[in-house]
């Protein structure tokens, strides 16, 4: 089960963190993985680490906010590997850059959160759909956040707007493509740490508040993405899955 041999995946923002964890897990299950990032050196370094672990990965740097570059990036990857039929929209601007009440922000502050977290998802889905429809098979996964499904007082309203908009988009896309063999699901994350030591240290109040007693790991996210990307997940679509160590969310 969950064998991805013969599939080509593209994971955006996969040069580090959650995205690299997802790319590594897909590669470990046999997919050839296009590793996208805005920073080319990050994408290349992540590919080297995935190759060192026995996986096949190809760097595909581009900016997800630029539709033309997104389309060109998908075409470049397809020339090398064959058509992309698994897309993971992971690229995002973390909320740590936005911790201020909405009343104190300006329109210039909002733009990046909407450009990357919402429009970036639309650009990549638009570029991916033609090949998926030709193959009559596709898996689209968007990495979201609890901030996209529930309100908080933390000053992440614009981040939440981008993430929440993408969730709504994915639910609609899932129904538009349901008869075409293409699924579209979202994963709303809680607190994720870069590695196991950081995940278990629970050094701050937020980490200590996670019911299972630790923060999540990129591999926790990757494992769910392997399932959602698999043949076996063909009846799972239009859903937002909460992956957060048991935290209560709406």
Ligand X SMILES: NC(=O)c1ccc[n+]([C@@H]2O[C@H](COP(=O)([O-])OP(=O)(O)OC[C@H]3O[C@@H](n4cnc5c(N)ncnc54)[C@H](O)[C@@H]3O)[C@@H](O)[C@H]2O)c1
Backbone φ and ψ of 90, nearest 5°: -110, -25
Contacts of 164 by beta carbon, 8 Å cutoff, 6+ apart: 144, 147, 148, 149
**227 part of the active site:** no
Question: Contact residues for ligand X (CB under 6 A)?
Answer: 12-13, 15-19, 36-39, 42, 63-65, 90-92, 94, 116, 120, 143, 145, 189, 191-192
Q: Where are the beta strands (DSSP E) in the chain?
A: 8-11, 32-35, 56-59, 86-89, 138-145, 182-189, 240-243
Residue closer to ligand X by CB (options 93, 137) is 93
Least Å distance, CB 18 to ligand X, is 4
Residue closer to ligand X by CB (options 137, 159) is 159
* Whole-Å CA distances, 219 to 21, 58, 75, 113: 5, 20, 28, 25
Least Å distance, CB 45 to ligand X, is 10
Give exposure, 80-92, as e/b (b: 16+ Cβ within 10 Å).
ebebbbbbbbbbb
Q: How far apart are CA 85 and CA 111, in angstroms?
A: 30
Least Å distance, CB 136 to ligand X, is 28
Q: Which of 103, 90, 109 is nearest to 37 (CA)?
A: 90
Which of the following is catalytic: 143, 159, 169, 184? 159
Token code pair at residue 222: 């990757």
Q: Active-site positions?
A: 159
């Amino acid at each position: 089960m969950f064998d991805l041999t013969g599939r080509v995946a593209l994971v955006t923002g996969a040069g580090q963190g959650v995205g690299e964890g997802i790319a590594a897990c897909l590669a470990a299950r046999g997919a050839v993985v296009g590793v996208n990032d805005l920073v080319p050196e990050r994408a290349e370094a992540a590919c080297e680490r995935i190759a060192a672990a026995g996986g096949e990965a190809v760097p595909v740097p581009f900016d997800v906010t630029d539709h033309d570059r997104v389309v060109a990036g998908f075409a470049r990857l397809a020339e090398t590997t064959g058509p992309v039929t698994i897309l993971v929209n992971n690229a995002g601007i973390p909320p740590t850059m936005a911790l201020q009440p909405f009343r104190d922000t300006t329109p210039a502050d909002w733009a990046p959160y909407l450009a990357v977290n919402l429009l970036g998802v639309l650009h990549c889905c638009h570029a991916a759909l033609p090949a998926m429809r030709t193959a009559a098979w596709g898996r689209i996964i968007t990495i979201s956040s609890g901030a996209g499904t529930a309100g908080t007082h933390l000053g992440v309203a614009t981040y939440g707007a981008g993430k929440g908009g993408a969730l709504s988009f994915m639910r609609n896309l899932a129904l538009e493509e349901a008869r075409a063999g293409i699924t579209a699901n979202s994963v709303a994350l809680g607190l994720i740490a870069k590695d196991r030591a950081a995940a278990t240290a629970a050094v701050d109040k937020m980490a200590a508040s996670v019911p299972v007693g630790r923060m999540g790991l990129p591999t926790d996210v990757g494992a769910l993405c392997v399932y959602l990307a698999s043949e076996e997940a063909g009846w799972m679509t239009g859903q937002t899955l909460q992956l957060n160590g048991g935290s209560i969310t709406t």
